[in-house]
Amino acid sequence: MEEKIIKTEYSEVMQKSYIDYAMSVIVARALPDVRDGLKPVQRRVLYDMHELGIRYDRPYRKSARIVGDTMGKYHPHGDSSIYDALVVMSQDFKKGLPLVDGHGNFGNIEGDGAAAMRYTEARLQKITQEAFLSDLDKDVVDFIPNFDETEKEPSVLPVKIPNLLINGSEGIAVGMTTSIPPHNLAEVIEATKAYMKDETITTKQLMKYVKGPDFPTGGIVINKDELLNIYETGTGKIKLRGKVEIEKAKGGKTNLVITEIPYTMIGANISKFLSDVAALAETKKTQDIVDITNQSSKEGIRIVIELRKDADVENFKNMLYKKTRLEDTFGVNMLAIADGRPETMGLKQIIKASVDFQFEVATRKYNTLLEKELERKEIQEGLIKACNVIDLIIEILRGSKDRAMAKECLVNGKTDGIKFKSKGSQIMAEQLRFSEKQANAILEMRLYKLIGLEIEALIKEHEETMANIYRYEDILARRDSMAQVIMNELDAIKKEFGTPRKTVIENGEEAVYEEKKMEEMEVMCLMDRFGYAKTIDLPTYERNKEAAEAENKYVFKCKNTGRICIFTNIGQLHTIKVADLPFGKFRDKGIPIDNISNFSSEKEQMIFVTSQMYLNLYRVIFGTKQAMCKVVDGGEFDVAKRTVAATKLAEGDEVVSVAIVDNLKDVILRSKDGYFLRFSVDEIPEKKKGAIGVRGMKLGAGDYVEDIRYTYNGMEGPLVYSDKTIEINRIKLMKRDAKGTKLRL
C-alpha cells in the first residue's frame, strides 16, 4: 500500500485534538444533563441497577457486582469513579434526595470514606424506581449503543422531577466547572407547577415557591437579597452560616453548640474547623475557650465549645464567623448540558427545560400506550365477535387440515378444503373477515373463555380499553390535559417524598467582631535548636535565666505587639508576629516556626533570629560563602510582608552570617582551607538590601568561607573555633580583600 502523507499545520491538529478531548470530558463525563440532572456515570449506575432488578423492595446486592456490571456494560472507565458515584448518590448529607439505598459503611459527614465495594451493598430508593426509571419500557427516551455496541443504554432517564435543582451537582470539566446547590423537593415541584400554569412567570415570582437552596446539612443562607440575581444569571455566591445555639452549663459557664454546619464544611473541613478553633486559643486570639468537643453522631451534628463565665458570647460567635469556616461561601455556577452543549442557565431556564422534557416524555409515553390499547381493542372486538359465532368457528377448526387453512378462512373467507356440516355454514364462513391479529387471537383462545362470566369480563375489559383510548387521545390532543396529568404525578411525588425545608433563608447582619486590643508589654522570646519558639514574661525569664540560655539557641527581648525576623541561608527574611507565638510557662514546648511562617526547615536554614525592634535601632552585617560582605540599615527590614529577600546573592552563594552591628570591632573570616582574615568592621561599606556587597576575602580555587566571627570593643578574651581556643593576637589584623593567614588549630 502506497504511503500517504498529509501535510497540515501542527497547531491546527493540536487545537482540534484538544477541542475533541474537551468536549468529550464536558459532555460525556463531567457535566450533568439538564433534563435528568445526572452525569453519565450516575445515569449508567442507576440504569444498571434497574436492569439487574435491584429494586427498593428487593434484597440488597453487593456494590462490587453493580460496579463490575456497570463497567463491563456501559462505563468503560475506572471502577473507583463508578463506586464513588454510587456512594455519593447514597449519602443523605450530600444529596437532598438520595437515589441509592446503601447498606453498610458508606462514609459519614466528617469525611471518613466508604468501605470497599466488596463489603457494602446497595439497592435503588423507592423514588428512584418510581420517578426516574418507571417508564423506560414505554419508549419514552432514545436508547443508544454502549461503548462496544453490544448493549443499549438510555441517552437520558425519563425523570419526572427537576432533579438538577433538587439534588444539585458539582463537576470540573475542561475549561469550565459546574456548581449547583441542592433545593427542596416540594418547593421545586410547586415552582414547576406554577411555570406550567403560566409560562410567562418571572424568576422573582418563581422564588415565591423556591425560597433558595435547601442544603441537607441545614445551616443559614444570609444573603437573601442576592439570590434573585443568582437565580436569574445562574452564577453568584451564596453566603452560608452554621446554626449556633447557646446553652447554660454548670458553674455559670456558657456552651456554644453548633447544631448545623455550612454545606461547604462537609468532610475534612469539620476537623479543620475544630483545629482552627483550637488555634484561636493557642495563639491567644481569644482566651474565652475552656474546652471544645465534637459530640456529633448519627442523630446529627453537635460541636460543643465551652466558654468562660465572663465571655462575651455574641462577640465570640462573630469571631467564629470571621476567623473560621462556620461562615463560608458556596460558589454557584449552574452549568449543564442542554441540547448537546454546555450552557449556564438560571432557575426559570432549568425548570423550562425540565417541563419541556416532561411533555416530550409524556407524549411518547401516551403514544405508546395508545398504540397498545388500539391493538388490544382490535383483539377484544375480534374475540367478542368470535363468541357470537363460536359454533361456526369450531366447525371451521374441525374441518380444516391445518392452522393456515383455518386462519385463511377467518381472515379472507376462503373455504377451499374445509369440510362443513352444511352449505349454510360454508356460506356464513365465506363472509368472515377477521383481521390478522384477531384471527391469531381466536386460534390461540382457550375453551374456558367461552364461559358466560369470561365473556362478560371480556366485554367489561373492552369498555375499559375504549375509556383508556378516549383518555389517551384527549391527553395527546390537548396540552392542558397532558399538563394536568404531569401535575398530578408531581403532586403524588410531593405527597410521598416531600420533606420540610432544612436551610433558613434570611438577610443576616454582617458579623462584627471586636478584637480585644493586646496590652503592650516586653517579653522574652525563646527558640531552641529545633525551631520551637515561645514567649515568656520577664520575671519568669529572670528566674530561669541560666536554663533558658543553655537550652535555647536564640534568646532575646521583644514586644508582644511586634515582629520577629528570621534570616536564612538562602537570603530570605521571614517575619512572624510575636502574638502568634504561645505565651506561657517556661517549660511549655512552644510551636514550630514552620507552622506559623513561610520558613521551611527542609529547604533553608536559620542563620540569625532577632526582634524587628532591634533591627530598627541598628545596622545589620551580612557575610556569605563567597566572602561577600555588606552592612545594611536595619530599618530596611521593617516590612509588613511575611517573606522578602533580605539580600541579593550571586549564583551558588549563600549566607553564612548575619549580625547586628552594635559595638562590633573586627570581622574574622575562616575559609574551608584554614585561612583566617581579620579586618575592621569599618572597612565594610553600607549598602541597600538589594545589593550583593563587596568582597571581604580572596579565596583560592575551591575554597569558601566556612565561618564568620566578630570581636567587640573591649573584648580581649580568646575566640572558640570548633571547640578549640584561639588567641585573638594570633590572627593578624589586615585589610579587607586580603587572602589572610593560615593557622594551625
Residues acting as catalytic residues: 119
In 3-state terms, what secondary structure has residue 261?
A: coil
CB 507 within 8 A of CB 222: yes
**DSSP letters for 153-172:** EESS---SS-HHHHH-EEEE
Q: How far apart are CA 282 and CA 471, in angstroms?
A: 73
Cell of 49: 441497577
Tell me the sheet residues that pair with 558. Answer: 523
Q: Which residues pair with 235 in a beta bridge?
A: 333
Instruction: Point out which residues pair with 102 in neighbouring strands.
Output: 122
C-alpha cell read off for 207: 422564588
Centroid of chain to Cα 52: 30
628 DSSP β-pair partners: 695
The candidate with the shortest Cα–Cα distance to 139, out of 124, 119, 154, is: 154
Residue with cell 515568656: 536
Distance CA 168, CA 121 (A): 24
For 334, 634, 670, the CA distances from 637, given in Å and listed in that order, are 48, 6, 28
Q: How many angstroms from the chain centroid is the CA of residue 373?
A: 48
Number of H helices, E strands in the chain: 22, 35
Q: What angle do CA 500, 505, 509 make, to 5 degrees?
A: 150
H/E run at residue 409: helix 403-412
Angstrom distance (rounded) from CA 327 to CA 348: 29
For residues 241 and 190, what is the distance between their CA atoms, to the nearest angstrom?
A: 27
Question: At 286, is the secondary structure helix, strand, or coil?
Answer: coil
User: 3-state DSSP helix/strand/coil percent for the chain, to nearest 5?
Assistant: 40, 25, 40
Q: Match 559595638 to its residue by C-alpha cell.
A: 663
Residues 365, 366, 369, 371, CA torsion sign: negative
The answer to whether the CB of 685 falls within 8 A of the CB of 668 is no
Of 666, 686, 682, the closest CA to residue 740 belongs to 666
Contact 604, 649 (CB under 8 A): no
Give, for 189, the enclosing helix (H) or strand (E). helix 185-197
Instruction: Give the side-chain half-sphere CA count within 13 A for 441.
Output: 19
Q: How far apart are CA 311 and CA 307, in angstroms?
A: 6
Element (H, E) at 18: helix 10-25
Give me the helices (H) in 419-577, please. 423-430, 436-444, 452-477, 479-497, 538-543, 545-551
For residue 298, report the phi and psi dihedrals to the nearest 5 degrees. Answer: -65, -25
Rounded Cα–Cα distance for residues 604 and 600 (Å): 6
